[in-house]
Amino acid sequence: MIQGALFDMDGVLVDNMRIHAAAFDVFYERHGIADRKDVRKEFSGMGNVEIMQRLFTPERLEELGGWQALGAEKEAIYRELYAPIIRPTAGLTDFLDALHRAGIRCAVGSSAGEENIRFVFDGCGFAPRFQAVVGSEQVTRCKPDPEIYLKAAEALGLRPEECVVFEDARAGIEAGRRAGMKVVALATTLPREELERTTAALVIDDFTQMSVERLRSL
């Protein structure tokens, strides 16, 4: 029986990938990057170390202070843009409350860093609703490696097969599959038809289409 719900953050807890895309536009302008990658298609589910290594040569990275400094710059732009309008994905708060009433424990497994996770938790009042958080600082391997979701399940004291993962990105869906968990995909970042070709057990538009009963029927 399902006892745990594990959530990615960007594109899942908050429908914010358009804000990340806008932040990258500002970042590209600042650094004169002409080859502007499609954030939703190419960066979804990745950590900043991988993203910055794709955008800059090793020499340029060193010249600009390394991927950590560049990642921090881009995330600061994102938080400034999103702070006035941040809100949970539609239906999420009610769904989290229903999970709590049903005794289903919740955790976050996100490639985001601690500062962005705290920003989202503070902005949306998520702290009381999650029993564990695993961010980029707690793992050594990024999605699609299953490490982040295995650690999230362990933090809840649950076996992988007792957990369902909520994801919006191909890398995250694959991470959940490799962890031995069922995956529900949200069509916030990628088109439904693309998600329906993945290993996700269910595709939803947002959490208004989710319930405890539907979760347990997977």
Say what the pLDDT of residue 39 is. Answer: 66
Centre a 10 Å sphere on the Cβ of residue 176 and count the other Cβ atoms it contains. 30
Domain ranges of the chain: 4-15+86-216, 17-82
Q: What pTM, to 2 d.p., does this model score?
A: 0.89
| CATH superfamily name and code, 4-15+86-216 | HAD superfamily/HAD-like (3.40.50.1000)
Pairing mode, if any, of strands 132-134 and 105-109? parallel
List b or e across 48-60, with b for residues whose CB sees 16 or more CB atoms inside 10 angstroms: bbebbeebbeeee
Determine the Cα angle at 119 with ends 118 and 122, to 5°. 80
Per residue of the chain (218 residues), give pLDDT as tens.
Answer: 999 999 999 999 999 989 999 999 999 999 988 877 776 667 766 778 888 888 888 898 888 889 889 989 999 999 999 999 999 999 999 999 999 999 999 999 998 889 999 999 999 999 999 999 999 899 999 899 999 999 999 999 999 999 999 999 999 999 999 999 999 999 999 999 999 999 999 999 999 999 999 999 99
